[in-house]
Amino acid sequence: MVNTVPLSSDQLAELTARIASRKERLLEEIRHVLARSGNERYADLVGEAGDAGDASVAALLRDVAEAEVRRDVLELRDVVAAQGRIGTGRFGVCIDCGARIGYPRLAAYPTAKRCLACQQEREKTGHYGPRPTL
Ligand SMILES: [Zn+2]
């Protein structure tokens, strides 16, 4: 496995900003779909979640099971988790093996929580979530 260098503060700032704007877009999309499908109550919740903390986002995600926003909700969950790792200083560190994930992979997939080797291992064994969409 390649032993990658730590993220520079510029790289971390850039990825943090990209994750934040991705979150905004996902919230916007989810809100839009829910409003269109008559789920104003959830649409309002999404609006509030944009300004409130992760706890309200998490509560919202438990409630929203609409198939058409499911993909967005799953990705939003990854985004919120990535922001949590940024907050605790564990961003860019593989959750399985503890290796640094590396800027090239994070640049392609900012919410990556595993290094490439662990991700491939996980996909080989068959239990993995939705593929990255970036
Ligand atoms: Zn790993």
Inform me whether the pLDDT recorded for 1 exceeds 60: no
Inform me whether the pLDDT recorded for 126 exceeds 70: no
Nearest to 84 by CA among 59, 113, 44, 104: 113
Q: Calculate how far, in angstroms, residue 6's C-alpha sits from the geometric centre of ligand 1.
A: 15
Q: Calculate how far, in angstroms, residue 119's C-alpha sits from the geometric centre of ligand 1.
A: 7
Inform me whether the pLDDT recorded for 65 exceeds 60: no
Q: Calculate how far, in angstroms, residue 116's C-alpha sits from the geometric centre of ligand 1.
A: 7
State the chain's mean pLDDT as an integer.
Answer: 81
What pLDDT shows up at residue 70? 81
Give me the sign of the Cα torsion angle 25, 72, 66, 114: negative
Q: Calculate how far, in angstroms, residue 86's C-alpha sits from the geometric centre of ligand 1.
A: 17
Q: Calculate how far, in angstroms, residue 89's C-alpha sits from the geometric centre of ligand 1.
A: 17
Residues 27-58 pLDDT 10s: 998 888 878 776 666 666 665 555 555 556 65
Does 89 or 44 have the greater pLDDT score?
89
